[in-house]
């Protein structure tokens, strides 16, 4: 099984990395692709150029076997719809199961994404529980009840279509919090890997003038 973990990663932090490792180990995922988005479609545009966010992710995952930075969204024109990203993974990996990994906050907006049900034709969804995440309700709750499995073997047994809720280390770290902290002159040390911090410091990222 292959994991696909998309995000803004502005910057990547331990809330992404530790939880991705939890998911990888719990579900037996052989490789997780970290896919920084080029253009946001459901939120404000990131302030940091996509190439730089990719460089931060590259620095973060370089030493971790089974984690890779994947810049495929940068080579595509237009907004970074996950559907097309997953289509490209599906072409690459044929029938191997794909796990599309996201936090509970991201999953709560899932039905407003581009072609959400077709996303489930391409991949399973693994939802990582995040601190303070709200439980799904309405149509999303119905979808969850239809597709939910508590059995990791079900994810390995088919290419796509199931939803799995994965408990992860609860780390109340957000990229917004890190940017705000740096903007007021505080340190992001121990919230991001040292190599990521070194790039942030070297380039003066997130500092206000
Ligand atoms: P921002 O604060 O800029 O919105 P973020 O910290 O939420 O950023 P993103 O790059 O937007 O990070 O997140 C990518 C994915 O990682 C999303 O699915 C999000 O839910 C998940 N995620 C981010 N931080 C955590 C965390 N601390 N624990 C679990 N999942 C997380």
Residue 47, judged by CB atoms within 10 A of its CB (0-12, 13-18, 19+), counts as exposed
Atom of ligand 1 minimally distant from the CA of 15: 27
The residue contributing the CA closest to ligand 1 atom 27 is 15
Could you read off the pLDDT of 109-118 as tens digits, one per residue?
999 999 999 9
- Which of 106, 100, 48 is closest to 74 using CA atoms? 48
Eight-class DSSP state of 189: B
Q: With contact defined as beta carbons under 8 Å apart, do 200 and 206 qualify?
A: yes
Query: Quick check: helix, strand or coil at residue 28?
Result: coil
Q: 3-class secondary structure for 43-87?
A: CCCCCCCHHHHHHHHHHHHCCCCCEEECCHHHHCCCCCCHHHHHH
- 185 CA → ligand 1 middle, Å: 22
Atom of ligand 1 minimally distant from the CA of 103: 20
The residue contributing the CA closest to ligand 1 atom 8 is 175
Of 46-55, 57-66, 141-150, 187-196, the one with minimum mean pLDDT is 46-55
Tell me the H-state helices in the chain.
Answer: 14-27, 50-61, 82-93, 104-108, 116-122, 139-147, 152-157, 175-183, 194-203
Look over the chain and give the mean of its residue pLDDT values, rounded to a whole number. 94
Q: Is the pLDDT of residue 44 over 90?
A: no
| pLDDT mean over 189-197 | 98
| pLDDT mean over 68-77 | 93
Ligand 1 neighbourhood includes 11 CB (under 6 angstroms): no
Reported pTM: 0.95
């Amino acid at each position: 099984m292959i994991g696909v973990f998309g995000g803004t990663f502005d910057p990547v932090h331990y809330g992404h990395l530790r939880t991705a490792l939890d998911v990888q180990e719990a579900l037996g995922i052989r490789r997780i692709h970290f896919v920084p988005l080029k253009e946001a479609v459901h939120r404000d545009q990131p302030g940091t150029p996509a190439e730089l966010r990719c460089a931060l992710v590259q620095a973060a995952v370089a030493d971790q076997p089974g984690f890779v930075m994947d810049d495929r969204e940068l080579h595509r024109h237009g907004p970074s719809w996950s559907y097309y990203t997953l289509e490209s993974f599906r072409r690459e990996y044929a029938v191997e199961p794909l796990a599309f990994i996201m936090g509970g906050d991201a999953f709560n907006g899932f039905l407003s994404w581009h072609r959400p049900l077709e996303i489930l034709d391409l991949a399973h969804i693994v939802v990582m529980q995040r601190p303070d995440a709200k439980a799904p309700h309405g149509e999303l709750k119905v979808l969850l009840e239809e597709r939910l499995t508590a059995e990791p073997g079900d994810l390995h047994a088919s290419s796509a279509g199931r939803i799995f809720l994965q408990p992860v280390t609860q780390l109340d770290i957000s990229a917004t919090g890190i940017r705000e902290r740096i903007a007021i002159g505080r340190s992001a040390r121990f919230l991001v890997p040292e190599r990521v911090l070194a790039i942030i410091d070297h380039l003066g990222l997130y500092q206000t003038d």
